[in-house]
Structure 1
């Protein structure tokens, strides 16, 4: 039977979020109902509310989540009732051209639930990134669930569902950071600091954190940065990075902001054969203008990182294991624990830069 739960929606562009009743339909053949235990408040949720993703309102917000499988459809084999899972928004299909070419992290045909969740009047909801986890329960495809050790704090585990995975993967997967590399990270919020933690885990020996906020630079040092650059106090960030890297620039530069000016800084702050990774999300109106000869004059690579180029079934259990071994301090990303009625306050804290992550606990 369908069930009614609480959920947080964005009803229209820029309107405050609302806590409303949400109807969860019976799971389809390959669907799963997940009892949500915790869900991080990600900037992407704010972007949905503000109309920065699309206009398919109303949105059921929340996507960076962990919970327990409550019920499953008739053909589900991937998980079972009672499993503790992290939800993901890239449930790879295995059949599209990217998957068949051995690049499933670029899957063009990811799976979502077969039926929509609705308001009590029948209005269909668009779940954020196909998940919609600012709710007591949500409905997803079975392959959106990755089973992990149930002893892990859900508030910590859920962070791998989006932002922290994006940053870790930007350094480890997309950037290919290796032992002895130098790494610079522009923007030290949750994603940037996760890139710093990933660079440390991968064996980088020089990790340079760049931000204009002194508190964020302190967070970055706590997560592995060996050097910091205060962008508000330095005239030439590129020169500052070069000074710290024997005049060469960094082997890998991660732009966790996603603005033309930060990307230009990343482009010139890398070594001549270095890698630039864009993981910060730009908005459609942004333009980049650089001399074409400067592209020609450098080798290396310019890459964009989608979800940290992760494979949830490969990466989530591995990263949870590293956390349990004390090698990956995921708990440091949880700044505060809030409730479903606190989403607007969490958005405000995110905007002010006073948190790495607010996490909704249910």
Structure 2
């Protein structure tokens, strides 16, 4: 059978879904060896909760935590309460704190790797002392959960800072008191426009110098840096300037295969939102890389880039909608709704193309179920059969 997929601007075209999934590595495989790979995971909304887009997030905890176990079962780590989990876009700090506590407990139970975002989203705005206190509150929650902290970029700090010195002072204070080495996260304005000018300058070269100054002052407290600028050349240049022992975790959802594969001067580890839908396939690819077969790794992962570029197309911050669609189609949740009502953030033609690309890659464990669910979504939106 064929599906009639909607086209941008009107009309439809026929698509014949595949009937067999790709065969990924079976769950229960050993941890990945040559790269540290963390998938930034989404949250599953509770579709029966009486909430509104501007109210507190209502989370289906069983489905949300089951998805973390899915990622761990393939040897991936989980990057929790990051922007993929809709931090600042539907998930408030109260919900994020509960997510961190629950996921931390689940990680300890199964021996799964977990890193969690610590930011300042309990503040709409504030003074520098208030921003520092907000970071400290969240850092304490992450450390109490037994997770590695990821110091996330702060909208409040971007608004309050007057120059690079404010970043050097605040991050220096946080790093000095961190119990264990943290990951520093540089999230570009394509993911969050409120972060324009982070590190004290809209000039990325100047911002890079401040970022490196923070790391150089406290290399023993920085496990690594997550770079989410969608600029492979800039990431490689920065990666080559990191102190010994400080890792680069790519956050580049456009160029991840080449950055993870690396070159003669090094490579990037990964902390990526696109690994939410790609988890099993990505784990299979990294296991090939573990054997030294870079070409085999690229042969598996390069074909996923068109899907990633589609999911993360501008406005990039709405990539979560496609990620959750694919989780529903793959059977990881029973509905296509999101906290904050974000399931409405992408057009139907965009979602249809995401389905087509993912189906072409064989990402759906049960292609017939994915087809039936996509058909139901199209019917609800009035697409003719």
TM score, norm. by length of structure 2: 0.29
Greater fraction of residues in helix: 2
Q: Which has the higher contact order (CA 8 A, sep 6+)?
A: 2
Decide which structure has greater strand share. 1
TM-score, length basis structure 1: 0.30
